Amino acid sequence: MNRFAIQLIAACATSMGASAAFSHVTLEDQAAAAGAGYRAVLRVGHGCAGSPTTSMTVTIPAGFNAAQPLVKAGWAVSTKVGKLDQPYEMHGTKYTEGVQEITWTAKSADSALPDAFADEFVFRGTTPKKPGTLWFKVVQGCDKGSNAWVEIPAAGQDAHGLKFPAARLDVLDVQAAGGHAH
């Protein structure tokens, strides 16, 4: 990516991140270039009303392709694969199925995330070629209860007014220099 593109993405992510409450599940970098590889870091800042977090499930939105979870010590990871609404081509291969959901589950009570602690859950993939907003719906399972971070604002509505907003990613029209986009 050229220097301007990197500065633009960093500025957008910083301004958006400053306004996002860490009490919600959010993405560390809330802006990315269209048609490029993206490392998604989901940040969770608390459990469920005092109960430790025992699972995190993220639904991959249409257009975010080739999703791959990163392993997390003390947690099992699984994926749900299914037919894609929007098939895509990468490296000369056409894909009609892909990861639609990723779940991390604590392997034991010792590896669960205590309510007063924060942590990150990471996956990677490729952003759509068309700029726009993607919403990653996340369900945080806890020892007792859950938090469904799945609300998407209506047109013209501010996401800050939602009680359980989904994690937002703004896909920007930024061209990679000499790109090898994934």
Task: Report the CATH number at residue 106.
Answer: 2.60.40.2230
What phi-psi label fits residue 50: left (phi over 0), alpha (psi between -120 and 50 degrees) or beta? Answer: left
Residues 6 or more apart whose CB falls under 8 angstroms from that of 75 comprise: 104, 105, 106, 107, 111
Q: Which one, of 64, 62, 69, lies nearest residue 122 by Cα?
A: 69
Name the pLDDT band for 24 (thresholds 50, 70, 90): confident
Render pLDDT for 68-119 as a digit per residue (tens, 0 to 9). 999 999 999 999 999 998 899 888 999 999 999 999 999 999 999 999 999 9
Q: Considering its fold, how many domains does the chain have in total?
A: 1
pTM: 0.83
Averaged pLDDT score across all residues of the chain: 87
Percent of the chain past pLDDT 90, that is, above it, reads 75
Q: Is 82 a member of any domain?
A: yes
Q: Is 143 a member of any domain?
A: yes
Q: Is 7 a member of any domain?
A: yes
Across the range 28-55, mean pLDDT stands at 96
pLDDT (0 to 100) of residue 14: 39
Domain with 84, as residue range(s), is 3-172
Q: Is 177 a member of any domain?
A: no
What is the 8-class DSSP label of residue 99? Answer: E
Q: Is 180 a member of any domain?
A: no
